[in-house]
């Protein structure tokens, strides 16, 4: 659950900052007044434009910041010039796989964690980062590491980071827009239409509560997409490294009973996530490993 909270807070923080900037610009240039003069009821046109700008702006700023944030938060050491046989092997595998899927060579890095994990991120297919933990290199054999790298390269080649950003942008827009529109109607009912010149306390309280509730539902949709995407990345890893290697890598991860969750947005792009059941499963970034193994063995996406 910690990874989901961090993911929501990161996106929320960007949206809040953009909201403040928008309000400053509105006070300077009178954007809302222009929409009022156009006769749009309850600022709906203004609210729609604000939701669109802030919703997609927040998502794409988060994407643009993702690689730099990953390097800092995870302490990733980029392999610019391989110094050891292990670094050379890791570098060459990523280079070969990137060539096979038709993308430019990503940056390759190692982060110091005793738990086996890996992730990929970046704003574009041709400007990505693929990083593995030292724990993964220590606990997996070469075939299994190759499969994990194939899984991460598949994420990049499939454009998963951009696709998730677009989905997040759409959901942000709907959350911002509908929380304020519904808040307006609640405020109108509570004030009996007396707040025609502005918004009452009911609007601000209800819109904030609705943004949290609708944001929670939006996160559930993003998490569902993240789980669905993992099956396709597993298939991509199987094509690049071999089905048997990919299955073996997932089974090795099963043996790591306490696989460490990656922080924040990195969780959605890791090779594995924590195990949960029931309602908590709806907030998981990854499907249970047994489901992923079964899908590969059955040849399903």
Positions marked active-site: 152
Instruction: Spell out the residues 6+ positions from residue 261 whose beta carbon is closer than 8 angstroms to its own.
Output: 2, 3, 267, 270, 273, 274
The DSSP-derived string for 83-118 is -SHHHHHHHHHHHHHHHHHT-PPPEEEEE--SS--E
Euclidean distance between CA atoms 145 and 265, whole angstroms: 22
With CA atoms as reference, report the closest residue to 125 among 151, 147, 90, 101. Answer: 101
The C-alpha atoms of residue 257 and residue 106 are separated, in whole angstroms, by: 30
Transcribe 192-218 into DSSP letters: TT--TTS--HHHHHHHHHHHHHHHHHH
243's tokens? 């089905």
Cα gap 264→262, rounded to integer Å: 7
Using alpha carbons, select from 156, 164, 168 the residue that is nearest to residue 14.
Answer: 168
Could you tell me which of 30, 52, 33, 54 has the C-alpha nearest to residue 43? 33
The answer to whether 48 and 251 are in contact (CB under 8 A) is no
Helix (H) / strand (E) containing 68: helix 44-74
């Amino acid at each position: 659950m910690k990874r989901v909270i961090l993911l929501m807070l990161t996106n929320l923080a960007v949206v809040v900052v953009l909201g403040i900037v928008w309000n400053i610009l509105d006070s300077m240039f009178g954007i809302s007044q222009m929409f009022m003069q156009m006769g749009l009821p309850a600022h709906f046109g203004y609210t729609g434009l604000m939701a669109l700008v802030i919703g997609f702006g927040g998502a794409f700023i988060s994407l643009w910041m993702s690689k730099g944030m990953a390097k800092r938060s995870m302490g990733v050491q980029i392999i610019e010039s391989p110094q050891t046989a292990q670094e050379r092997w890791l570098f060459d595998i990523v280079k070969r796989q990137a060539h096979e899927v038709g993308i430019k060579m990503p940056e390759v890095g190692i982060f110091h964690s005793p738990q086996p994990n890996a992730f990929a991120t970046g704003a574009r297919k041709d400007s990505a980062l693929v990083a593995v933990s030292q724990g993964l290199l220590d606990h997996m054999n070469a075939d299994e590491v190759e499969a994990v790298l194939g899984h991460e390269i598949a994420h990049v080649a499939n454009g998963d980071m951009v696709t998730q950003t677009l989905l997040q942008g759409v959901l942000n827009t709907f959350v911002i827009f509908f929380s304020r529109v519904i808040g307006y109607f609640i405020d109108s009912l509570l004030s009996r239409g007396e707040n025609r010149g502005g918004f009452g306390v009911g609007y601000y309280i209800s819109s904030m509560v609705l943004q949290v509730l609708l944001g929670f539902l939006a996160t559930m949709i993003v998490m569902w997409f993240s789980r669905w995407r993992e099956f396709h990345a597993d298939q991509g890893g199987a094509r690049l490294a071999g089905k048997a290697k990919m299955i073996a890598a997932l089974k090795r991860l099963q043996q790591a009973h306490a696989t460490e969750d990656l922080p924040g947005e990195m969780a959605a792009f890791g090779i594995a996530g924590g195990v949960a059941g029931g309602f908590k499963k709806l907030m998981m970034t990854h499907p249970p490993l047994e489901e992923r193994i079964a899908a590969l063995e059955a040849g399903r996406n």
